[in-house]
Chains A and B, each alone.
Chain A
Amino acid sequence: MSDLDVVSLRKEYPTRGEPLVVLQQADLALNAGENLAIIGPSGSGKSTLLYCLGALESPTSGGVALDGQNPFELAEPQLADFRNRKIGFIFQDHHLLPQLSVLENVLVPTLAGGAASNEAVERAKYLIDGVGLTSRISHRPAELSGGERQRVAVARSLIHQPRLLLADEPTGNLDRTNAETIGRLLLDLQSQENAMLIAVTHSMELAEMFAARRSLDDGRLT
């Protein structure tokens, strides 16, 4: 049994006709410290797979177990806690809160459970340092470049030392140089944190930086 087990994951959406099958019998397993890039064209079901893994969407059938825990068996409050503590997300759009500073943005996930503790602030600073933005710690997102914003998003995803990092086209909005920097950063921090990392992308350059790659085509993971 792996730290992450995905078994026969299937996701379909109801339509007026036949249900639209987005994922078909996806299986995968991953252990701490491992990373995986899933590549595929647009509409292949990459994001759906990622959101199912991140317990943001429930599958039609099949199961996901992270550290032996099936999140879809949890009630909404526990499911939220599960995501908060065990999963870190990075999206193509950074979704930073424009009114908050870099430090505050990194601390945002800690607000799910209350106020930011001293330890949380220290860790946020550590992560910001890790992504090379110490000098910009009190800057607002509007004062950062696209790459810098995404680095803040990476730091934010790691604030709770998640077991599983999920990245959805993390470099989709970046130029090649920035994309490479972010890719490297992601992998370094994943390794450093001994987390699992799954990134979905259609960028071969990013995928090649990952230890393992699988492709998703027409809902089938190969």
Chain B
Amino acid sequence: MDQMRLALRSARYYFSINLAVGLGVAAATAVLTGALLVGDSVQGSLRDLSLDRLGEVTHVVLADRFFAQHRATQLASGAERTAPLILLRGSVEHAGEHLRLAGGVSIFGVNDSFWRLNPNAKPPKFDGENSIVLNAPLAAELNVAVGDEVAIRLPSSNDVPADSPLGKKSGRVRGIPRLKVAAIIPAQGLGRFGLFPNQQAPLNAFVPLQRLEESLDLSGKANAILLAARDPDQTAEELAGELTLGLDDFGYRLDQVRQEFAAEGADPQTIYDYYQLSSSRMIISDAAEAAILKAAGRQAFPTFTYLTTSIEKESTDNQAIPYSTVTALDPGALAYPLLDTAGEPIRMLAEDEIILNSWSAEQLGAAIGDPIELAYFEPESSHGIAKETTSLFTVAAITPLTEPDSPASRRRPAEYDKPPTTANDPDLTPEVEGITDQDSIDDWDPPFPFDNRRIRGVDDAYWENYRTTPKAYVSLSAGKKLWGSRFGDATSIRVPVTAMAKEKLIAGIEAELNQHKEELGFRFLPARQNALRAASGTTPFNGLFLGFSMFIIAAALMLTLLLFQLGVDQRARQIGLEAAVGLRMKAIRAMLLIEATIVASLGGLVGVILGVGYAWVMLYGLRTWWVAAVVTPFLQLHLDNPATLLIGLTSGVFASLGAILWALRRLRKTSPRALLAGQTAASQDHQPGKGRWMIYAGGALIAASIGLAVLATALAGEAQAGAFFGAGAAMLAALMFLERRYLQWRATERSAGVGFQLSQLALSNAARNPGRSTLTIGLVGAASFLIIAISSFRLAPTESGTGGVDLIAESTQPIFHDLNSPAGRYDQGFRESDEPLLAKSTLLAMRMQPGDDASCLNLYQSNSPRVLGATPQMISHYSQEGAAQFEWAGSAATTPEEQANPWLVLEKPADGENAPIPCALDKNTAMYALHLFGGVGETFETTDPDGRTTKYQVAGLLSNSILQGSLIVSEGNLLDRFPDTSGYRMFLIQTPPGETEEVASILEDRLSEDGFDATDAKQKLIDLLAVQNTYLSTFQSLGALGLLLGTFGLATVQARNVIERRGELALLQAAGFRRDRLVRLVLLENAALLSAGLATGVLAALVAVLPHMLFGAAGVPWATLTVMLGLIFVVGLIAGRWTARASLRTPLIPALRGE
């Protein structure tokens, strides 16, 4: 026999109590391991989902323009595979019994190479060119089956920006009808392919690439390439370096514009001869202009031709010239200069000077020095409204124009019998669909307000003779100033043919443009890397679960401590005997520790297994009961990280051994004689006056708790959660100290006389073992704290959460007209009958730069959240008196106006390259998605998938709003940073009372082509709040687990007390106590401990929650809580009564004999 053997034998002999201790350890380990596993599983599931949706795709090239499909082959070397495709966002509709429309659909034009990127899945088969493959979520949304026909609507490839006056606002959607559904594929693998990480399955439709090319007139073109690279870690820069694009891919073309005149019998004379580079988008972007000018050499020069609505000589009665083009250029840069009436080159032009061609001068009766007023549309339209403005110039020169002998037509240049001049240059005007391609002005189909009554016969004659030839010229700097926009400020770049060979010029420009692909609309996305990074998750699940689990782990450790103490108490005589026969107390404690280590280790192992089960149950819950927390049931248990199990096991076992060591500590103070008499240190608690320190410790902890609770309101994120839980834990500990001290006092210093009754006896019984009772109170307290604290953070939708709007809508295609004005609605195609309702509605439009959904509906880490541009109209709406406001958790407002309407703080322009853009965002988005804890004033950067960064500054924080998930900036700042953003895609809509559904129906119907989808704002808010509320439900289940432990602890203590006091109970029975009175005595003690536990939990929760309540971030649902706590109390009493009756069922009388 040695100490180890004795420990083993003891472990076996005291099997029951050791089993209970082991279960306590198992509970602590299970909760700990389970919390860690849930975190692992969320991240693992997100990672799986990311990798699954990408198939073998590692990188994506995505362009905002169409390029030659064959470019894809450049990226494929060796075993690497690529797939060119057309990827557009559109809508799909199915005209079944009821028209069903799905907006926000990703429409892929694919060929076989796409499906080969996921070799593990059988590729679906198209049923001819006019067929379509849908993924299951889209098919479900449309309620279609294989064989049904659907129509898709796509943005047409109109390149002229719609926000410029020459861009078309309507008819930008192209439909492809009658596509037969060839297959419905599950939302797995490439069936859920998407670039924005989100655990929700996207709506995907796949169309034969060729069919899409034909429909969009884009033969052989694509706007995306998917790549399965051998090196998945290849950077975006490396990938960009592998792709070489041609001029056409960038949307540019180089033409030779040449004017010659050959007099009869003479050699042809060159009037001008340029290479002209122009853009399919009409305007050349600043980045491209700089690159092209750099490549084209010093002789290259830009021109900028713009449309004027009138050219008028000021203060005369002469008729104005309507609808003309005016070119801005630097006369000194021209290789073939404009000449004045004297035949001298015009070399200088000040910003306020203008050159008229001779036709214009004649029409206006203008001479040099005369003032000329140009009227024109502002270069950017808002809500499709072209705003006219004017500028005044002075005639600096008049350049002669030669009338052609035979006018030009669309396909044939003009023919001259007299030498034309350098002003006879119609190519200075870029092609504009519907205008420059028309034979007559009468045929114009302009996107701007056009009054054809202003067209005179002479204007028609000019169009016939000179077509798009500019009627006037201003300096380049003036043109850039007046007409330059975010889209650029040049319409062509010209290089004299003599300056460089065409091939060399093209090669040079292409080389330079290829250096700036990213700036020119090509995005090189390391999709796999981005997906894995995003899968690291927004919500720190491990932290969240561990935070909430801490109380349960603490409860489990308290239970372990309690049970172990009971075990020690039970064998006090044995320990006393061992001490009496000469074993040193240290050795006895060591033996007990060995025994405890064996028990704890076995318990820990069981705990790990239970932890796996616990995590499975939690994940099952998150797939079913609490699916609203994660939006879609995708979470699977991940056990691929053995370290998690090891950490759970060792942490659980060591924490439990810590608790056991604490329990063993008492033995040091206990004499062998006391032990032999069956007493442990617990009996020595009954020393009057001892334990005063607990009052001081309790007081200090209360102060710390209040301090932490107040501090928590000023913190954010994990720090706030830490302070909150710290406040709760400190208050729990404080109350436990004070309760223990009270029980100790009650047991030693209080005596009753008259009125002494059963309840007091019960309370005295509870005081007999203050440590045991306090631990029991703590067990119940920890669980009730958790339940109450969590309940207090439940959210209900408020009017301030919706900002007073009834609908929130999003359109797949941008909308350019002002839906708030009758004219805008008319232009958009609304009907007369819609007016009564829509006139009474308010539509607040916002621009949208697409990005990640950073709301709590998306679990992925958001690196590039969606950006919304709040229009001045929207901002001013909230300045109106009586307008329902959003609730702001904070803002940078300083003036009274800003304080009344914090949206105004967004209007501060972000001047300078590195100046941060003021933005507003939901507080939850700031904290949980973007991890911004600094509050208002904090600056941060977002990184686009291709690595571009944008700097923002938090100017306002919204509280629990429908705008969760986006950054909101002013329209001006959005357009400065994202100049390619066009139109409006997000709408906040106020409707007349009771007409919300009708308004939604009208809007969705009339804007169905644009994929307009309106959602009830309150419902949207409920959906968003449901996430937090469901998380809370999840964590409340932890509270329930804690209560289970508490009830178990309470019952164990109660049963142990009865066993220990059998003699006394027998005496009471002998003294005439009825059995039910004995049960009541035991039950009263149980109720006292249960009540104290609940009160402790309530008080600790209130202290932790109160500051948040005062700031409106929490509210205690008193009625629900009263019912819940009442229920807990009743259940506890029922369990107690059952235990009491079971314990008292054994005959007590033998105890009187000391048996």
Asked whether any CB of chain A lies closer than 8 Å to the CB of B1149, the reply is: yes
* Contact between chains at B754 and A121 (CB < 8 Å): yes
* Contact partners of B761 in chain A: CB under 8 A: 97, 100, 104, 108, 111
Set B764, B1066, B1154: member contacting A100, Cβ < 8 A:
B764
Q: Which stretch from B259-267, B612-620, B1069-1077 is at the chain A interface?
A: B1069-1077
* Contact between chains at A111 and B756 (CB < 8 Å): yes
* Contact partners of A115 in chain B: CB under 8 A: 755-758
Asked whether any CB of chain B lies closer than 8 Å to the CB of A15, the reply is: no
* Contact partners of B1070 in chain A: CB under 8 A: 54, 56, 83, 87, 89
Asked whether any CB of chain B lies closer than 8 Å to the CB of A73, the reply is: no
CB within 8 Å of B: which A70-126 residues: 76-77, 80-85, 87, 89, 91-93, 95, 97-101, 103-104, 107-112, 114-118, 121
Asked whether any CB of chain B lies closer than 8 Å to the CB of A190, the reply is: no
Set A56, A107, A117: member contacting B1149, Cβ < 8 A:
A56
* Contact between chains at B1072 and A112 (CB < 8 Å): yes
* Contact between chains at A93 and B1072 (CB < 8 Å): no
CB within 8 Å of A: which B1139-1154 residues: 1149, 1152-1154
* Contact partners of B746 in chain A: CB under 8 A: 99
Asked whether any CB of chain A lies closer than 8 Å to the CB of B277, the reply is: no
Residue of A nearest to B1151 (CB): A95
* Contact between chains at B751 and A112 (CB < 8 Å): no
* Contact partners of B1067 in chain A: CB under 8 A: 89, 91, 95
* Contact between chains at A111 and B758 (CB < 8 Å): yes
* Contact between chains at B1074 and A95 (CB < 8 Å): no
* Contact partners of A117 in chain B: CB under 8 A: 754
**Distance to closest chain A CB from B761 (angstroms):** 6
* Contact partners of A168 in chain B: CB under 8 A: 1152-1153
* Contact between chains at A118 and B1152 (CB < 8 Å): no
A107 CA / B752 CA spacing, docked (Å)? 10
* Contact partners of B751 in chain A: CB under 8 A: 101, 103-104, 138
A140 CA / B685 CA spacing, docked (Å)? 13
* Contact between chains at B1074 and A98 (CB < 8 Å): no
Contact pattern, B 1061-1085, Cβ under 8 Å of A = 1, otherwise 0: 0011011111111110100000000
* Contact partners of B1066 in chain A: CB under 8 A: 95
**Distance to closest chain A CB from B759 (angstroms):** 9
Residue of B nearest to A138 (CB): B751
A92 CA / B1066 CA spacing, docked (Å)? 13
B751, B756, B1071 pick with most chain A CB within 10 angstroms:
B1071
A114 CA / B1067 CA spacing, docked (Å)? 17
* Contact between chains at A111 and B757 (CB < 8 Å): yes
Set A57, A76, A84: member contacting B1071, Cβ < 8 A:
A84
A85 CA / B1074 CA spacing, docked (Å)? 13
Contact A95 to B754, CB < 8 A, known contacts A85-B1072, A112-B1068, A140-B748: no
* Contact partners of A51 in chain B: CB under 8 A: 1149, 1152
Asked whether any CB of chain A lies closer than 8 Å to the CB of B211, the reply is: no
- Per the CB 8 Å criterion, the residue count for chain A at the interface is 44
**Distance to closest chain B CB from A99 (angstroms):** 4
* Contact partners of A150 in chain B: CB under 8 A: none
Asked whether any CB of chain B lies closer than 8 Å to the CB of A20, the reply is: no
Asked whether any CB of chain B lies closer than 8 Å to the CB of A142, the reply is: yes
Asked whether any CB of chain A lies closer than 8 Å to the CB of B642, the reply is: no
* Contact partners of A110 in chain B: CB under 8 A: 756
Asked whether any CB of chain B lies closer than 8 Å to the CB of A47, the reply is: yes
**Distance to closest chain B CB from A117 (angstroms):** 7
**Distance to closest chain A CB from B1077 (angstroms):** 6
Contact A109 to B1072, CB < 8 A, known contacts A95-B1152, A103-B751: yes
**Distance to closest chain B CB from A76 (angstroms):** 7
* Contact partners of A91 in chain B: CB under 8 A: 1067, 1152
A161 CA / B786 CA spacing, docked (Å)? 53
* Contact between chains at A142 and B1071 (CB < 8 Å): no
Residue of A nearest to B1152 (CB): A91
Set B768, B1069, B1071: member contacting A99, Cβ < 8 A:
B768
* Contact between chains at A99 and B765 (CB < 8 Å): yes
A117 CA / B764 CA spacing, docked (Å)? 19
Asked whether any CB of chain A lies closer than 8 Å to the CB of B686, the reply is: yes
A109 CA / B1149 CA spacing, docked (Å)? 17
**Distance to closest chain B CB from A103 (angstroms):** 6
**Distance to closest chain A CB from B839 (angstroms):** 79
Contact A89 to B1153, CB < 8 A, known contacts A98-B768, A108-B761, A115-B755: no
* Contact between chains at A116 and B757 (CB < 8 Å): yes
A41 CA / B315 CA spacing, docked (Å)? 143
* Contact partners of B764 in chain A: CB under 8 A: 97, 99-100, 104
* Contact between chains at A116 and B1068 (CB < 8 Å): no
Contact A82 to B1072, CB < 8 A, known contacts A101-B751, A111-B756: yes
* Contact partners of B681 in chain A: CB under 8 A: none
* Contact between chains at B1154 and A93 (CB < 8 Å): yes
* Contact between chains at A121 and B748 (CB < 8 Å): no
Asked whether any CB of chain A lies closer than 8 Å to the CB of B179, the reply is: no
**Distance to closest chain A CB from B1068 (angstroms):** 7
A99, A109, A115 pick with most chain B CB within 10 angstroms:
A99
* Contact partners of A47 in chain B: CB under 8 A: 1153
**Distance to closest chain A CB from B1081 (angstroms):** 8
* Contact partners of A160 in chain B: CB under 8 A: 1072
* Contact between chains at B758 and A118 (CB < 8 Å): no
* Contact partners of A89 in chain B: CB under 8 A: 1067, 1070-1071, 1152
A107 CA / B751 CA spacing, docked (Å)? 12
Asked whether any CB of chain A lies closer than 8 Å to the CB of B989, the reply is: no
**Distance to closest chain B CB from A138 (angstroms):** 5
* Contact between chains at A99 and B1074 (CB < 8 Å): no
**Distance to closest chain B CB from A135 (angstroms):** 14
Residue of B nearest to A97 (CB): B1064
**Distance to closest chain A CB from B763 (angstroms):** 9
Contact pattern, B 766-799, Cβ under 8 Å of A = 1, otherwise 0: 0110000000000000000000000000000000
Contact A80 to B1149, CB < 8 A, known contacts A100-B764, A104-B751, A140-B686: no
A92 CA / B1067 CA spacing, docked (Å)? 12
* Contact partners of B748 in chain A: CB under 8 A: 140
* Contact between chains at A83 and B1071 (CB < 8 Å): yes
Asked whether any CB of chain A lies closer than 8 Å to the CB of B753, the reply is: yes
Contact A80 to B757, CB < 8 A, known contacts A99-B764, A142-B686: no
CB within 8 Å of A: which B724-771 residues: 746-748, 751-758, 761, 764-765, 767-768
A107 CA / B761 CA spacing, docked (Å)? 11
Contact A116 to B747, CB < 8 A, known contacts A93-B1154, A108-B761: no
* Contact between chains at B1074 and A92 (CB < 8 Å): no
* Contact partners of B1063 in chain A: CB under 8 A: 93, 95
**Distance to closest chain B CB from A205 (angstroms):** 22
**Distance to closest chain A CB from B1104 (angstroms):** 34
* Contact between chains at A112 and B756 (CB < 8 Å): no
Residue of A nearest to B1147 (CB): A57
Contact A116 to B755, CB < 8 A, known contacts A95-B1063, A95-B1067, A108-B761: yes
* Contact between chains at B1077 and A76 (CB < 8 Å): no
Residue of A nearest to B1068 (CB): A108
Residue of B nearest to A110 (CB): B756
**Distance to closest chain A CB from B937 (angstroms):** 60
Contact pattern, B 513-552, Cβ under 8 Å of A = 1, otherwise 0: 0000000000000000000000000000000000000000
Contact A95 to B1149, CB < 8 A, known contacts A80-B1072, A100-B761, A117-B754: no
B1063, B1073, B1152, B1154 pick with most chain A CB within 10 angstroms:
B1152
Q: What are 19 A-B contacts defined by CB distance under 8 Å?
A: A47-B1153, A56-B1149, A76-B1075, A80-B1069, A80-B1072, A80-B1075, A80-B1077, A84-B1071, A89-B1070, A89-B1071, A91-B1152, A92-B1154, A95-B1066, A97-B1064, A98-B686, A104-B751, A115-B755, A115-B757, A142-B683
Besides A91-B1152, A107-B752, 7 new A-B residue pairs in contact (Cβ under 8 A), listed by A number: A80-B1074, A84-B1071, A92-B1153, A98-B683, A112-B1074, A116-B752, A140-B748
The 9 closest A-B pairs by CB, nearest first: A84-B1072, A115-B757, A116-B756, A95-B1067, A109-B1071, A80-B1074, A101-B751, A83-B1072, A99-B768
